[in-house]
Copies of this chain bind each other. A is one copy, B any other.
Amino acid sequence: MRLEELGEFGLIKQIAALIGEPSSAVRVGIGDDAAVLKLAGDGHLLVTTDVFVEDVHFRRQWLTPAQIGARAAGAALSDIAAMGGEPIAIFVSAGWPPSLEAETATELMAGLARVAGEYGTALAGGDTAASPGGIFIDVVVIGTAGQPWLRSTVQPGDVLLISGSLGEAAAALALLQDGKVANAAALSPALQERFTNPIPRLSVAKALAEGGAVTAAIDISDGLVQDAGHLAESSRVAITIEADRVPISPRCRPAAQQLGADPLQWALTSGEEYELLLTVAPALVQQAAELVADKGGITLTPIGRVSEGEGVVVVDESGEPLELSTEGWNHFSPSPPTHCL
């Protein structure tokens, strides 16, 4: 079977099955936003890797080299936020076409290093190789966490919360894919900022981690419904998302109108939004929202609930299930998915 038939998650399952038991230092291996290692002493070490491939995850016609680096750093740091952790060092392995202008490589790395610095961490190493194809970069972030947030610890009865709002990254991507704008510089300032400089929700995570209310978490990198599905599958619970409570950014509405697109569909399926999807016990929802509002004015919105069972369902205001045209994206799908760059 070819990979485009098996799909990304099919391959990951086959690889995970091959591997057997991790060593005693590995508390959480494949299947979360980051791996969790337990070393001597208090706390846990987090390790996450994110690979970005030219013409799969980014296009050089749309983004400057510095923007490509900044997006990659933001996305990788978001995985540390999704574990309730803090980053301590970033490593980048890259493949570059030999004919590439050296300036392109250094600008990309400088964009990445700038974002690392903004979140209190630094580039600490990596590797460099020639690539006969396009550019690729693998961003490795090492972080720490007291009690890491897993995907597998959602409890029936929990409330599902999301940070910020969804749809801006989807709007930017749709405008680019449709040819309505030639590159990211031609987007409106708000969409451009969101698209070229995604914010890993590390300050939200830090505030919540200190409060101790979160039972489980993931970041929105595959799409809300699909990422909720990862939580449901890992925790063996059912998740209901109430569509009318999903916070859609008003800034994505003009693009939706221009393109005849449904902003709700964007909010439910857009990856690369990098908001946090969290579960919290009902009694602690108010406390969690206040902790986050105090730190930077980000809103936490309850958008659903957890029950015994399995799977994810999205319901309208009368409680009827909605049909979705797609649940997210598959890295090996033969045609470009809706939120692949």
Contacts and interface: CB of A to CB of B under 8 A. Distances in A.
Interface string A60-96: 0000000000000000000000000000110111111
A39 B131 CA distance: 35
Given A14-B106, A138-B51, A2 B122 contact: no
A102 B37 contact: no
A39 to B, nearest CB: 7
B132 A35 contact: no
Contacts of A95: 51, 53, 136
Given A122-B20, A123-B19, A130-B53, A99 B40 contact: no
Contacts of A325: none
A12 interface: yes
A330 to B, nearest CB: 9
A96 B15 CA distance: 13
A23 interface: yes
Interface string A226-244: 0000000000000000000
A284 interface: no
A212 interface: no
Given A113-B18, A133-B133, A124 B41 contact: no
Interface stretch (A24-32, A149-157, A296-304): A24-32
Interface residues of A, number: 87
A315 interface: no
Contact of A30 (B32, B125, B334): B125
B51 A11 contact: no
A334 B98 contact: yes
A132 to B, nearest CB: 5
20 contacts: A3-B96, A3-B99, A11-B105, A11-B106, A14-B102, A15-B106, A19-B109, A22-B123, A23-B89, A23-B120, A23-B122, A37-B88, A39-B39, A39-B43, A41-B42, A47-B89, A49-B125, A53-B130, A56-B132, A140-B140
Given A34-B125, A47-B91, 6 more contacts: A6-B102, A21-B122, A23-B89, A39-B45, A47-B142, A95-B136
